[in-house]
Amino acid sequence: MCRFIYSYTGSLFMISRRQLRIKVLQTLYAYYQSENDKLILAEKELHKNIDKSFELYHYLFVMILEIANLAESRMEIASKKRIRTAEDINPNRRFVDNRLIYQLRNSDQLIRYADLKKLSWLNYPELIKEIYELILEDEGYQEYLNLESCTYADDKKFISRIFTHIILPNESIEQSLEEQSIYWNDDLEFMISMILKTIKRFKESDEQNKMLELYKNPEDKDFAKELFRKSILHKDEYLDYIKSNTKNWDVERIAFMDILIMQMAIAELVGFNSIPIKVTLNEYLEISKFYSTSKSNVFINGVLDKVVTELRKENKILKTGRGLIGELNDTE
């Protein structure tokens, strides 16, 4: 699984421009590996790829509810035993009665979406049981149960701990997600970062805390579609720029993923006037660190620098608005 270090802000949307670029890259790779070259079908795959990320975001929240349901079910079973311990009679319900879990159980947004997509872990009882057993063994669990007074912040902190310390590193969950959807292969870490972002925003006083929206604005949705389309439609033109700036290289020997990353970068440099050149270059260099070879970062940086120079000479890069940031210094 590729590892990005994600940070979160107070924004109300889930998917960032970088994540959109990654989704475009993944779909572009699949498009060229496929025997089907119909662009409209490929665009549907792109949107499905993005939508499945949103589905996983909700699916993981449903998981924490399923785990809490299991904990409560075990308490009920223990309370009906013929011979009961003191713990059976008077169990510590702090996890079951966690206030964040209560809010999630009563979230209209979460419940409606889960019902719409039929999101459930009922077919994976052993996995839910495994995660619950790991929670019981976690030192943070006992610390949480033994708090003299438990605040709402403590409730949120413990649920965040489950996601970061138990769910994220769990190989069984990763394997299960990969089996359920090819679109989830690289999404777990990013989705958990979005879950942490959501939990951080939740307030005890709000009856209906909002889940994240998928897109920041309609422009982001259009950005993904247009980047994908431009990368394909102008492929030959962009490959010519790559070839002319890798004269000492046989293009056939350049890693395919490197070609795709540079192809997308050129599409963005030429086709999106409002995005600064430095932003585009930095984004694709970051992506290359995780989706290509160990030496790709330096190679791609060198090639794209030359391509930018060539595009400027041909007046193919025309930046406006925010896209002009840094342009004056770069051209002096």
Mean pLDDT (whole number) for 300-323: 91
Closest CA to 124 of 132, 113, 116: 132
Question: Are residue 196 and residue 259 in the same domain, yes or no?
Answer: no
Question: Are residue 257 and residue 168 in the same domain, yes or no?
Answer: no
Q: Give per-residue pLDDT as tens, 214-265.
A: 998 899 999 999 999 999 999 999 999 999 998 777 666 788 999 999 999 9
- Within-domain flag for 208: no
Q: Give per-residue pLDDT as tens, 75-116.
A: 888 788 778 786 767 788 999 999 999 999 999 999 999 999
CA 114 to centroid of chain Cα atoms: 18
Question: Are residue 175 and residue 46 in the same domain, yes or no?
Answer: yes
- Within-domain flag for 220: no
Question: Are residue 186 and residue 47 in the same domain, yes or no?
Answer: yes
DSSP 114-129: HHHHT---TT-HHHHH
- Within-domain flag for 211: no
Q: 278 lies in which domain range?
A: 234-331
Q: Give per-residue pLDDT as tens, 35-77.
A: 778 999 999 999 999 999 999 999 999 999 999 999 999 988 8
- Within-domain flag for 317: yes
- Within-domain flag for 197: yes
Question: Are residue 193 and residue 246 in the same domain, yes or no?
Answer: no
Question: Are residue 170 and residue 244 in the same domain, yes or no?
Answer: no
- Within-domain flag for 207: no
> Of 201, 226, 244, at which residue does a domain stop?
201
Q: For residues 185, 190, 193 and 195, what is the CA-based torsion angle, rounded to 10 degrees?
A: -60
Question: Are residue 266 and residue 124 in the same domain, yes or no?
Answer: no
Return the percentage of the chain with pLDDT > 90, whole number.
76
Question: Are residue 44 and residue 125 in the same domain, yes or no?
Answer: yes
Predicted pLDDT of residue 87: 78
Question: Are residue 140 and residue 273 in the same domain, yes or no?
Answer: no
Question: Are residue 49 and residue 193 in the same domain, yes or no?
Answer: yes
Residues in the chain, total: 332
Q: What is the CATH number of the domain that holds 303?
A: 1.10.940.10
Question: Are residue 251 and residue 197 in the same domain, yes or no?
Answer: no
Question: Are residue 158 and residue 294 in the same domain, yes or no?
Answer: no
The CA-to-CA distance between both ends of the chain, in Å, stands at 42
Q: Do the beta carbons of residue 277 and residue 326 sit within 8 Å?
A: yes
Structural domain count, the chain: 2
- Within-domain flag for 229: no
